[in-house]
Amino acid sequence: MHVTTVHDPAALERLRSPRNDVVIEREDGPDRFVAARGPFRRYERTLAVGTGGVVETTTFALAVPFWWLLFALPYRWAMRRPVERRDRSPWWAPPDPPDGRAATSLGMLCSLGLIDGYVGTLLTQTITYSAREFGADRAAQGTVLAVVRAGALVALAAGALADRRGRRRTMLVCATGACVFAAMGALAPNFAVLTVTQLAAAGCAGALGVLLAIVSAEEVPAGTRAYALSLLVMTGALGAGMCVWALPLADTGTRGWRAVYALALLGLVVVVLVRRRLPESRRYEERHAAATAMSERARRLALLAAIGFLAALFIAPAFQFQNDFLRRERGFSAARIALFTVVTSTPASIGIVAGGRLSDVHGRRVVGVVGLLGGTAATVAVFAAHGWPMWAWAIAGGVVGGLVVPALGVYRPELFPTALRGRAAGVLEVIALAGSATGLLTVGHLADRWGSYTGPIAIAGCSALAVAVLVLLLPETAGHSLEHLNPEDVLSGPSAASP
């Protein structure tokens, strides 16, 4: 509850206007307002006019499960905003407020994002240590990381299944599989078995990530899709950070890296908690047009596929080989690698959040190109630098590169109708991971031949120029409803009126 007392008669007239910032209000009787839309389970604002002034009382309960502690204080502050600032949302809030159901769904999706982040980064963080136990060189590591990309076929199958059977059930199965297969890596007797278990784990995690983005786009308002994706990316990064926090276990002995894999079983607790409250995607539940041939969306699919493939040529090796680069070429211990990762990656949250809001307010393409070129240049500089400049370039690369994640990531679910959204996302995931595999194999072999990662990473970074050109060919989708972008879904009727 928040209570404000004002004595200015002119303020009363302003207070009697519905808010339009963190909540979109509607009148519900004399001097009483409720939420027409906002992330609340309960919301009420009342005015009491007396001889001592006007008392404004606001009571609310957020509909954000698990994560409400992070938002409770900012929303309390927002309720105290002066009346002249209540016509626009603050910088940290969704540009277009979601309703209670969407807020609940987004909270659940973010919780599952922890699993996606942890399992998705597990092999990357630990492969240099498992390779040490199994006696594998850099080329072998590149091969394993590339082979694991075949798990993208799971995303393709999961996307098709989600289009036919529903998003919710498929996400929960993928989350469970990611935890179980990842934990099996702790028992791997050799590199081959580790590769097989993590191929399955990475496939489930990749499919989970694809479906999280789809359901997020289907639930939230048109003006908040990139913002919502930025929150998913942030919680995925938190899951990846948890993996990094556990990385010092690899220093406890030659087999210490196995404990990091075993910890993946804790993700099953998240699955159980989410399963009780996660609703099905509202757009999937509503009547929508039947699936049409993918060829009708061929141009959009081809353009996004080319962008995904070329971007992955650089992104995958730059991040997958970072730990090996730090250990071999800069002499870092596991604890120092963990410190470097936390210190340089944490500021990336600034870029991710800013990228989500800027993309929703000012458009996807310009934000995406700036983040892409700036982030790539800074990341290449990391592999050429020594000492504190290497840390500085890594921080800059994370912040600037973070802009591109929500700006371009949101295109996947936006440019395809409900009946094809899962399949299209699965196809794009396969193609992007094919680009990852190509980049990993190429950089891994060149690094062994040249004795350094610097040159190969710089060569891979040239792909960013081609990606920037292709991004400018994409349509601008900010602020447009999914039905506007995909006229087929207008047939669903009720869906057209949903956020």
Digit-coded pLDDT (tens) for 51-61 = 667 788 899 99
Asked if residues 469 and 365 have their Cβ atoms less than 8 Å apart, the reply is no
Other residues' Cβ atoms within 10 Å of the Cβ of residue 238: 16
Closest by Cα among 374, 154, 408, 230 to 303? 408
* Interval 290-295 mean pLDDT: 59
Q: What is the mean pLDDT of residues 275-300?
A: 74
pTM above 0.75, yes or no: yes
Instruction: Report the pLDDT value the prediction gives residue 383, as an integer from 0 to 100.
Output: 92
Predicted confidence (pLDDT) per residue in 454-470, tens digit: 899 999 999 989 999 99
243-255 mean pLDDT? 85
pLDDT band at 378 (very low <50, low <70, confident <90, very high): very high
- Is-contact 361 412, C-beta < 8 A? no
Tens digit of pLDDT for each residue in 312-366? Answer: 999 988 987 888 889 888 888 878 888 888 888 888 888 888 888 899 988 899 9
**Per-position b or e across 92-112, b if 16+ CB within 10 A of its CB:** ebbbbbbbbebbbbbbbbbbb
Whether 119 contacts 254, CB under 8 Å: no
Q: Write down the pLDDT at residue 3.
A: 60
pLDDT at 324: 84
Question: Is pLDDT of 260 > 80?
Answer: yes
* CB distance 40 to 97 below 8 Å: no
What is the rounded average pLDDT of the residues 73-96? 85
- Listing DSSP states for 454-499 in one string gives HHHHHHHHTHHHHHHHHHTTSPP-TT--HHHH-GGGGGGSHHHH--
pLDDT > 90: what percent of the chain?
36
The CA distance from 207 to 370, in Å, is 28
pLDDT at 80: 84
Q: What is the pLDDT of residue 293?
A: 57
**pLDDT at position 451:** 85
% residues pLDDT > 70 (the chain) = 94
Give the best-scoring range by mean pLDDT among 71-85, 258-272, 409-423: 258-272
> Token digits for 185?
């890596």
Express each pLDDT in 472-492 by its tens digit.
999 999 888 888 888 877 654
| Rounded Cα–Cα distance for residues 470 and 313 (Å) | 15
Report the pLDDT value the prediction gives residue 289, as an integer from 0 to 100. 58
Residue-level pLDDT at 493: 43
The packing angle between helices 418-450 and 191-219, to 10°, is: 140
Side-by-side strand order, sheet with 40-50: 2-6, 53-62, 40-50, 32-37, 24-27
230-248 residue pLDDT tens: 999 889 988 988 988 888 8
What average pLDDT does the segment 39-46 reach? 93
Determine the pLDDT at residue 494: 41
Q: Please tell me the predicted confidence (pLDDT) of residue 287.
A: 61
Q: Around 290, how many Cα atoms within 13 Å sit in the side-chain half-sphere?
A: 0
> Do 454 and 326 contact (CB within 8 A), yes or no?
no
Task: Please give the pLDDT value at position 52.
Answer: 66
* Tokens, residue 159: 């996307």
DSSP summary character for residue 39: S
- pLDDT tier at 271, thresholds 50, 70, 90: very high
Question: What integer pLDDT is reported at residue 274 of this predicted model?
Answer: 93
Average pLDDT over residues 211-223: 91
pLDDT above 60: residue 304: yes
Taking CA 52 as the corner, what is the angle to CA 48 and CA 57, rounded to the nearest 5 degrees? 30
Tracing tokens 């894999």 back to the chain, one arrives at 261
What's the pLDDT score for residue 36?
A: 92
Whether 161 contacts 443, CB under 8 Å: no
Cα(270)–Cα(337) distance, integer angstroms: 28
Task: Give the CATH architecture of domain 100-483.
Answer: Up-down Bundle (1.20)
Give the span between the Cα atoms of 181 and 265, in whole angstroms: 9
Confidence band (pLDDT; 50, 70, 90) for 11? confident
The pLDDT confidence band at residue 497, using thresholds 50, 70 and 90, is very low
In this prediction, residue 44 carries a pLDDT of 94
The reported pLDDT for the residue numbered 498 is 41
- Burial of 229: CB neighbours in 10 Å, binned 0-12, 13-18, 19+: buried
Q: For residues 426 and 152, what is the distance between their CA atoms, to the nearest angstrom?
A: 8
Tell me the average pLDDT of the chain. Answer: 86
Integer CA distances (angstroms), 166 to 75, 178, 499, in order: 33, 19, 19
